[in-house]
Each structure stands twice: as structure tokens, then as C-alpha cells.
Amino acid sequence: MVNHFRDRGHKDIRAFVPRFRRGDSDKNCPTKDPEILDKLEQEGFLTYTPSRFVDNKLILPYDDRFILKTALHYDAVIISNDNYRDLWRENPDYKKLVEKKY
């Protein structure tokens, strides 16, 4: 996705990935090529959303909020299969953002 938009000349691109996808030395890395994620993060195209393991159980925050807050802040377009309807009632600006920019 990032390469597609870079090839089209876009410069302000941000992908969101839960941190556990990167893997670490204690867990099996669920990403085949974590170096790609590292490079995208170093280049400023990728943001990891928080995740952690507690008693071997994966704890994930609701990533959609990170995406919508960032899109609002930067007046950005969202590319996603998600329609974010569950967050429309939480913040009227989210509904406007999704209706106009999705």
C-alpha cells in the first residue's frame, strides 16, 4: 500500500500496524519480513499501535481510534475496509471524516 501511493507521488503516507505484528525476541514473529516494517517505520510511513502480552494473552487497544484521530489531525484520507460506524456516535467529527473522505 505504501509503495503504491509513493509511486503515485504521495509523500504523507501513514500505515498503522499493531506492535505485536513486528514480533520480538521472546515471541515468534508473525511477520514474514519484519525488516520491511522496520524500514517503513524509520522512513516515517508506519506507526505501530500499542499491543502487549499479559500472561501469554495478547492485549490490543482499539486501533480504529488511532487511525481516526490521526486522520482528523492531518485532514487525511483513510484507506481501509473498515467503515468505522461503531465510532460515529463517539465523536461527530469521526462521522464527518468518514462520510467525506472514505
Q: Is 20 exposed, middle or buried (0-12, 13-18, 19+ CB in 10 A)?
A: buried
How many Å apart are CA 93 and CA 54, to the nearest integer?
34
Question: What's the confidence (pLDDT) of residue 40?
Answer: 94
Whether residue 88 is predicted with pLDDT greater than 60 in this model: the reply is yes
CA 13, CA 42: separation in Å to the nearest integer?
13
Residue type, 61: P
Question: What pLDDT shows up at residue 83?
Answer: 84
pLDDT digits over 37-82, tens only?
999 999 999 998 888 778 888 777 788 988 999 999 988 888 888 8
Pairing assessment for the beta strands 52-54 and 57-59 based on DSSP bridges:
antiparallel
Structure confidence at residue 5 (pLDDT)? 93
pLDDT score recorded for residue 33: 80
Mean pLDDT of the chain: 84
In contact, 17 and 37? CB cutoff 8 Å: yes
